[in-house]
Amino acid sequence: MAVYTDVSDEELEGLVATYDIGDVLSFKGIAEGVENTNYFLRTSESSFILTLYEKRVNEKELPFFLNLMEYLSDRGINCPQPVSNKSGEKLSHVAGRPATIVTFLEGLSIRKPQAKHCESLGKALAQLHLAGQGFDMHRENNLSVSGWAPLFEKAKDRANSVASGLRERTESDLLYLQANWPKDLPQGIIHADLFTDNVFFIGDDVSGLIDFYFACTDALVYDLAICLNAWCFESDGSFNLTKGQSMIAGYQSLRPLNKEEIDALPILCRGAALRFMLTRLVDWLNVPPGALVKPKDPLEYDRKLGFHRHVTDASEYGLVR
């Protein structure tokens, strides 16, 4: 459970009194997520999520995320809407942390997606990229290639205690990716963390997207590389080509990839896997004392990297030319 910060009854009452959202009926820490503290809040008027921003979120960047959710929602993407308080502000403070109340989205996340879910996700990702065009705020991806070496610094001395040879494999991946990372691909707003727990379905169709706190401006096809990693591997570590084909076809049905994007897909998939291996490794080695959180397994992404290192062509991810 990701509850890093407790909110007392008094703090909650004080916060809710600054909003026009009715009276508190129930309030409960949420058993998923690893980044921020989330509570489910039900009031006499509706259901909401209270998010308290933790370690990786810089308060100065919150207007980017909150405005982005509003912009996307105005353009037909079903994502959480920040609720303004009585003073018209979307950002509040509670229990010593910056916080927002956002609307609750209906739908269920799917733990074991099938090809049809991957296709629907591919379409939803392309819709998100198209809807994000014209958003006039910019946020660097601080977890892209230039951010990986500093992240690894925090973990490299203890990496081999997690898996034998992990330090050496990671150093070699870093060198390769730093030397070959593609530039000049089409850019735009990317979600950058569209894992299965951040996508809601109703039936077989994507009904909503949440958790925009890694969103940034980067190569659009890098977002597809993140999703191929997160959705198309089986638990035995194999890549499911049918799922990859479905996702890429779903994406291309709305936003066809150009030649440069297709050529870049293998290295972007490898980079995306390294990015999640690294953040997981750092978190694995540094669980805050007392936090109710289950850190995610870095070795899942170490295994995925083992696959990506041998890929030479986008067709190996299911791209049909």
Ligand X SMILES: N[C@@H](CCOP(=O)(O)O)C(=O)O
Ligand Y SMILES: Nc1ncnc2c1ncn2[C@@H]1O[C@H](COP(=O)(O)OP(=O)(O)O)[C@@H](O)[C@H]1O
CA proximity to 274, closest of 113, 151, 122 = 151
- Measure the CA dihedral 226/227/231/233, to 10°: -40
Q: What's phi and psi for 295, nearest 5 deg? A: -65, 150
Q: Which does residue 56 bind out of ligand X, ligand Y, none, counting CB within 5 to 8 angstroms by kind?
A: none
- Taking the least distance from each CB to ligand Y, the nearer of 2 and 118 is 2
Min separation Cβ 226 and ligand Y, Å: 14
Beta bridge pairs of residue 103: 48
User: 47-52 and 37-43: which strand pairing?
Assistant: antiparallel
Determine how many CB atoms are found less than 10 A away from the CB of residue 304: 24
CB of 159 within 8 A of CB of 170?
Answer: yes
Closest approach of ligand Y to the CB of residue 73, in Å: 11
Q: Which stretch binds ligand X (CB under 6 A): 75-83, 118-126, 192-200, 239-247?
A: 192-200
**Site membership for ligand X, residue 280 (CB under 6 A):** yes
- The HSE-up count of residue 138 (CA atoms within 13 Å, CB side) is 4
CB–CB of 287/240 below 8 Å?
A: no
Judged by CB under 6 A, the residue of 193, 223, 261, 302 near ligand X is: 193
Does the protein bind ligand X through residue 34 (CB under 6 A)? yes
Which C-beta is closer to ligand Y: that of 170 or that of 279?
279
Cβ of residue 299: shortest distance to ligand X, in angstroms? 12
Out of ligand Y, ligand X, none, what residue 195 binds, judged by CB under 5 to 8 A for its kind, is ligand X
Cβ of residue 296: shortest distance to ligand X, in angstroms? 5
296's contact among ligand X, ligand Y, none, with CB below 5 to 8 A by partner kind, is ligand X
Hey, which residues does 206 pair with through a beta bridge? 201
Cα 66–chain centre separation = 15
* Contacted entry of ligand Y, ligand X, none for residue 105, CB cut-off 5 to 8 Å set by kind: ligand Y
Toward ligand Y, which CB reaches closer, 1 or 185?
Answer: 1
Q: Which residues bind ligand X (CB under 6 A)?
A: 33-35, 193, 195, 197-198, 211, 276, 279-280, 296
